[in-house]
Amino acid sequence: MTAATPAADGTLRVVVNAKVLSAAGGTNLGNVLFTYDIKPEAEVAVHWRLDWTASDTRLWEEGLKFSLPASQTHMRWLREAFFTDYPAGHLGEPAGEADASQVQFRASKRKLQWLTLTDRTGQGVALLPVAGVPLTGRANSSEVNRTTLFASREVAGPQDFSGGWVSGHDIRADKDQPLSGAFILRAIVP
């Protein structure tokens, strides 16, 4: 179900309620509610809520992905970091930039203050947090004719040598325990 409602300030609210399927035509795992507040100043506030109805499980990531033009291959970011000093080019550095050929482009950046994806002219999109909601972002340009932007509340890590830290970032999809998130997408025009 989809509904669109205009507001007095020019904002258009689009609400989408959809089933979450295991695959195309697969079993229903839950329901997701998306709310997009599209503002006249080229900004979209995105809120989502997942109500999981299948058996309890663990997830690798919780959030949304967007297809963007393939030309958007330059990323810049600023985030809160665990340490105060990182070597140049380190995956965890608090501020940086990378193009699609570098691993930093595809690496998840937690606790974002902002992330931008642009083309060589500087046109693109900014990913911004909503107060009080954690934001993780990354991108991928390996697909033909598009760049994919991932906007997540959290990304879980593998169960390896960092076991204690990973347990604190475990994402559980449990019945009667909704997952939710929010972020802002803003157009960048040079």
pLDDT tens, position by position, 10-52 = 999 999 999 999 999 999 999 999 999 999 999 999 999 999 9
Return d(Cα 55, Cα 63) in angstroms, integer. 20
Whether residue 184 is contained in a domain is answered as: yes
Cα pseudo-dihedral 103, 80, 130, 38, rounded to 10:
-40
For residue 159, is pLDDT > 80?
no
Q: What integer pLDDT is reported at residue 157 of this predicted model?
A: 58
Residue 174 lies in a domain: yes
* Total of domains in the chain: 1
CATH of the domain at 123: 2.70.98.10
| Residue with more model confidence, 148 or 167 | 148
Residue 162 above 60 pLDDT? no
Residue 93 within a domain:
yes
What pLDDT does residue 165 have? Answer: 47
Q: Is residue 72 part of a domain?
A: yes
Give the pLDDT confidence score for residue 54 in this predicted structure: 93
Instruction: Give the pTM.
Output: 0.88
In a domain, 131, yes or no: yes
Residue 78's domain spans which residues?
Answer: 56-188
Average pLDDT in the chain = 89
Q: With respect to residue 23, please indicate whether it lies within any of the assigned structural domains.
A: no
Provide mean pLDDT across the span 105-128: 96
**47 within some domain:** no
Containing 163, the helix (H) or strand (E) segment is: helix 163-167
In the prediction, which pLDDT does 43 show?
97
Query: What is the per-residue DSSP string for 69-138?
Result: -TT--EEEEEE--SSS---TT-TT-SEEEEETTSHHHHS-B-SEEEEEEE-TTS-EEEEEEPTTS--EEE
Tell me the pLDDT band of 161, cut-offs 50, 70 and 90: very low
Model confidence pLDDT, tens digit, residues 90-106: 888 899 999 999 999 99
